[in-house]
Structure 1
Amino acid sequence: MIEVRFLRKSGQLVAFTYEGHADFDEYGKDIVCAAVTAQCMMTYNGLDEVMKIRNVIDMNQDGGYLSVSIDSAAPDEKKDAQILMETLLLGIKAIELQHGNFIKLIEEEV
């Protein structure tokens, strides 16, 4: 099962992490893993390459783990990043709605 965790601070999303494998299908054919990975990487690339928002990324090169934090970004950067972060959250919720046996979504206020 994939666990996707979103952290909020003062109401703003400041980090997301996904860990694990969905085991929906065999490696290379797992549409749940592919969907989560694609959405998370798209969000990271938008934050990093397009918006140039300071972030910290940690990932397993073999897959199964990605963590992105914008907690150290400037307040205006965090505010601007909410569009991408909230969109990612909506996308993960949609995947969970369709494939809830393979993904667990956690939202925390820190």
Structure 2
Amino acid sequence: MITVTMKRSDGGITGFTYEGHAGYADHGQDIVCSAVTAQLMMTYNGLETVLGIPLDLDMASDGGYFSFSLKDPAEANVAKAQVLMETLKLGLLAIQTQYEENITLIEEEV
């Protein structure tokens, strides 16, 4: 199962951590893993490349762990960052609704 932990502080999302494998299908054919990974990577790239927001990144080479968080939650573009991260949350919740045995989303106050 994939566990995605969404980290919040003072009402805003500060980051996401993805751990595990969905187990929906064989590696390379798992649509749940692909959907979650695509959404996380799109959000990460939007934050870092498009908005230029500095992020902390940690990931495993086997694809079973990916974590990013805002380096400075007081950064000038934080409102734009929240739009992307709230959108990611909605996308992950939609996947969880359809594949609840393969993904869980946890909100954690930090």
TM-score range, shorter chain: over 0.9
Contact in 1 for aligned 2:14/2:73 (Cα 8 Å): no
**Structural mapping, 1:27-106, within 5 Å:** 27-106=27-106
Size of the alignment, in residue pairs? 110
Identity across the alignment (%): 54
Q: Which amino acid aligns with 1:91?
A: G
DSSP-derived class of the 2:72 partner: coil
Contact in 1 for aligned 2:4/2:105 (Cα 8 Å): yes
Would you say 1:108 and 2:108 are equivalent positions? yes
Contact in 2 for aligned 1:58/1:67 (Cα 8 Å): yes
What is the alpha-carbon root mean square deviation over aligned residues? Answer: 1.1
DSSP-derived class of the 2:77 partner: helix
Q: Deviations over 1:20-75 (max 9, x none)?
A: 00000000100000000000000000011110001101111220110000042434
DSSP-derived class of the 2:17 partner: strand
**TM-score, length-normalised on structure 1?**
0.95
> Matched residues in 2 for 1:47 and 1:2: separation?
23
Moved over 6 A (4+): none
